[in-house]
Chain A
Amino acid sequence: MSRIRVGVAVATFMSAIATFAFAAGPASAHEQRQVGAYQLTVGWGHEPTYTGVENAVQIFIKDAKGNPIDDLGTPPSLKVQVINGSQTSDPLDLKASFDPDTGLGMHGEFDAAIVPTVPGDYTFHFTGSINGQNIDQKFTSSDKTFDTVKDPTEIQFPAKVPSNGQLAQSVSRLDTRATTAAKNAQDSADTAKTLAIVGIAVGVVLGGAGLIVALSSRRRSA
């Protein structure tokens, strides 16, 4: 009897865990959209989203009945491109979060790893199909959808250190300035060299003229 009770308790506990695991939705800062028979929920894997920190494009897919979809077909054709400003990434593969072998991961979740390197808004462009349903959808970060990417300065402690992107910008700027300064220095040196040559030439001419005048005056006096 006691074994039965223990078994019931364990089963109840596991059921509760499972219920919570299945019921747990995606993080709040995601955009949800109905596309044909499927409900797509899109956002960042980790929010708030900071530059230079590994993250992922995250999509949750459910069917019309609300059941999570783990199989996108064989071979899976759904891919995502990440757009920032005028830059568009190569199509990225979406990997299922749920591993049927270990039972770990979230049903219906697919991720594409990415490290955002600049702050601002990002657009996720999904193309392909889900079990025959064509998908061509763009999701853009905003204060009403999912997070805009920020520099991590505000959460850095105790010292504020620049991100790789900021360092790259700084180095790029310094390089440009150094190149400009070197060019200016070269220009100045060239100018100085030209002036020196002109000066020497003028000196030679004047010196020669002076010598001629001195010699002719000596002859005259002689």
Chain B
Amino acid sequence: MSKTARLAVGLIAVAIAAVAVLWPATAAVAHALRISSIPDNGAVLKAPPSEVSVTFSEVPDPALSSIRVLDSSGVAHQQGKATAAPGQPATLQVAVAHLGDGVYTVTWQTLSHVDGHLASGSFAFGVGVSPAGAGALKAAVNKSPAPSNWAVAARWSMYAGLMVMFGLGVFRLVAVERTTRRLKALAAVGWVVGAVGILGITQEARSAAHVGLSHLLSSSLGHELALRGIPMAIAAIAVVVFVAAGARRRWPALLLVVGAGAAMAGDVATSHAAAARSWRWFQEGAQWVHFASAAVWVGGLVALVLTIRSLDRSERGRAARRFSTVAGITLVVIAGSGAQRALSEVGAWGRLWSNVFGRWVLLKICLFSVVVVLGAVNRYRNVRQAEAKPSALRRVAALELALIAVILVATGFLQNLAPATSAVAPKALPPVVASGHDFGTTVRIRLSVAPGMAGFNTFTAHVVDYDSGKPVVADKVSLHFTFPSRPDVGSSDLQLARQQSGDYRGQGANLALDGRWTVTVLVARGVNSVEVPLQVTTRTPPQTITKSVQAGLPTVYTIHLSAGRSVQVYLDPGHAGVLNQFHHTYLAPDGSELQIDQASIAATAPGQSTSKPLTTRKLDPIGHFVSDLSPGPRGSYRFDIDATTADGTEITAHIDIDVR
């Protein structure tokens, strides 16, 4: 065995060993991962929710995704299939039947609309009881099945095929003057390998998602197949033309490059780059450039290895030199675009080691570095001898190709894994924070309320001396809750316990309703006891608001609520300095008016921090109300809506409307 052969065997063995090390650690990540949910993991609700909604890191396909709400005995309580929230495709919601007190587990499964990958997970919440108290609370789980070997092989096949087609087209355009039979055959083989890869990817995704052939085209997997398959079909025409055209014609090669490039763009449109939330066009562009530059290098190298012997002496040298120049440029482009993509998908240096995705990227970088060294050997030693002795060039190039084959395996895995940036654990919602001090300016208080939604919350008070900022040690710190806009809602108290950190903490369901609460903090320390009144506005679930503008009429806003309900509002006339009437009509999912027993509106004027209740009248016997907004200045007014349906369901919403 020659030295080169031994070196080749050694390098490939190292690469395979690296793949083997990384291979088993791929099961814990996914793509359309849970970012947040309502109710949140571990939440304790005072009243049962009418629906459960989960927001994911990528847009899921609602038709192939599911949310199940199970009680402790495993009985499902969701009603119907999960649907995308209006205006929020990354959020799935499902209605639930009336839930009694108990702990509920939400299990979800998603198929990413972007890349077709499966993900699943679970989290728990309680109604009336704490899931922690029931011993059921665990960290929310995000997981997905490990990519199968066939899925990786299919991706490898697609990449190899497309790269060969694209690269040999460029090779024919810049390096050689005629299209040899081997080049034609290689183009055909490249197309077949690529097409097999596309079919394999679709089949694997279909199998994993249990999608029948009859539903394939109507699903997001069909959409992906079309994105990859249609350009591939066009590329088939280019291949046919390339094969059939005369050897001296250059334009069929250009056509082949365009066809293969389009097919590559189709794959990019279903890759991680397409899931970018900002600068998507840039991310997709960078991904395509990375793909294409790698294709120029890889496909060109394959073409060079296969055809160099069939070229005459002068053609050999010219082809090697020209390709070597192009390869040198593409290596720089590959490194640059690859670094950009890695930065985007890994996000932090530490994740190169700590995250499976990062480790695969690291392996790819290492292998790429070795290939660059081999390329340099060819560039500065063997290309000069290519005319007389092409075998050395071929041997090193073959070694490069072997390593590239391993890099493509790594790439296949990377495309089946969630990027490190999206595999990061879901972030908890930031707490609602209120700060203030007593009249005598003796203490400052920062009260954090987590998660800050109506229901069970954790209250943490950071009490410090007003001047020195040092923590205050008090005999007792307690909270007194009142709900000014609803005097019928009783007040309540909560005593906080001192923590080792010096903060005071307690848990309770004192924020029973959505809205603005007055929380008076009592800091008891003998003659220095003080009270600090604070305003805490609960975090309301995300709302979707659509508006209808018609000339000469007030703008009508529709606030979409849970369970298909909505509130239609408008401000008439919406001018500053005059009496404005705020109309609010409550609608059922079918568009009919909801029977409303009570509705109240609190308005906050521009620049004000406190709301004032508006005088409200019922305009019809069902659910149309009007509230009077006194003349005020121009600016954005916030309207807090609070209504109760005839069946006792609370409706809360808010909207900001400009008064001109």
- How many angstroms between the C-alpha atoms of A49 and B466 in the bound complex? 27
Would you call B493 and A119 a contact (CB within 8 A)?
A: no
User: Smallest CB-CB separation from A171: which chain B residue?
Assistant: B440
Considering only residues 114-129 of chain A, those with a C-beta below 8 Å from chain B are 117-121
Given the interface pairs A150-B480, A151-B531, A153-B533, the reply to whether A118 lies near B439 with Cβ below 8 Å is: no
Q: How far is the CB of B379 from chain A (nearest CB, A)?
A: 72
- How many angstroms between the C-alpha atoms of A108 and B610 in the bound complex? 47
Given the interface pairs A143-B493, A153-B533, the reply to whether A173 lies near B442 with Cβ below 8 Å is: yes
Q: Indicate the size class of the contact surface on chain B.
A: 20 to 34
Considering only residues 128-168 of chain A, those with a C-beta below 8 Å from chain B are 143, 148, 150-151, 153-154, 162, 166-168
Considering only residues 539-597 of chain B, those with a C-beta below 8 Å from chain A are none
Considering only residues 216-253 of chain B, those with a C-beta below 8 Å from chain A are none
- How many angstroms between the C-alpha atoms of A150 and B441 in the bound complex? 17
Of A35-43, A79-87, A182-190, the segment with at least 4 beta carbons within 8 Å of chain B is A79-87
Residues of B within 8 A of A118 (CB): 526-530
From B440, B441, B524, contact of A120 by CB (8 A):
B524
Residues of A within 8 A of B480 (CB): 150
From A85, A117, A168, contact of B524 by CB (8 A):
A85
Would you call A121 and B528 a contact (CB within 8 A)?
A: no
Given the interface pairs A170-B440, A172-B440, A177-B467, the reply to whether A121 lies near B476 with Cβ below 8 Å is: yes
Q: Is B313 an interface residue (CB 8 A)?
A: no
Q: Is B520 an interface residue (CB 8 A)?
A: yes
- How many angstroms between the C-alpha atoms of A154 and B522 in the bound complex? 14
Residues of A within 8 A of B518 (CB): 154
Q: How far is the CB of B67 from chain A (nearest CB, A)?
A: 40
Q: How far is the CB of A37 from chain B (nearest CB, A)?
A: 34
Residues of A within 8 A of B312 (CB): none
- How many angstroms between the C-alpha atoms of A169 and B442 in the bound complex? 7
Considering only residues 253-270 of chain B, those with a C-beta below 8 Å from chain A are none
Q: Is B71 an interface residue (CB 8 A)?
A: no
Given the interface pairs A85-B475, A119-B531, A120-B529, the reply to whether A170 lies near B522 with Cβ below 8 Å is: no
Given the interface pairs A154-B482, A173-B466, the reply to whether A85 lies near B526 with Cβ below 8 Å is: yes
- How many angstroms between the C-alpha atoms of A200 and B522 in the bound complex? 57
Q: Is B525 an interface residue (CB 8 A)?
A: yes
Q: Is B438 an interface residue (CB 8 A)?
A: yes
Would you call A86 and B442 a contact (CB within 8 A)?
A: no
User: Smallest CB-CB separation from A118: which chain B residue?
Assistant: B529
Would you call B526 and A166 a contact (CB within 8 A)?
A: no
Would you call B526 and A119 a contact (CB within 8 A)?
A: no
From A85, A87, A153, A169, contact of B440 by CB (8 A):
A169
From B440, B522, B524, B531, contact of A173 by CB (8 A):
B440
Mask for B420-442, Cβ within 8 A of A = 1, else 0?
Answer: 00000000000000000011111
Considering only residues 400-459 of chain B, those with a C-beta below 8 Å from chain A are 438-442
Residues of A within 8 A of B531 (CB): 119, 150-151, 153
Identify 10 new A-B residue pairs, CB closer than 8 A, beyond the known A148-B478, A154-B518: A87-B527, A118-B530, A120-B475, A120-B476, A121-B476, A150-B522, A162-B440, A169-B528, A172-B440, A173-B442
Q: Which 8 residue pairs of A and B lie closest in terms of their CB atoms, listed nearest first?
A: A85-B526, A169-B440, A120-B524, A170-B440, A118-B529, A120-B529, A166-B439, A151-B531
**Chain B residues packing against A (C-beta within 8 Å):** 438-442, 466-467, 475-476, 478, 480, 482, 492-493, 518, 520, 522, 524-531, 533
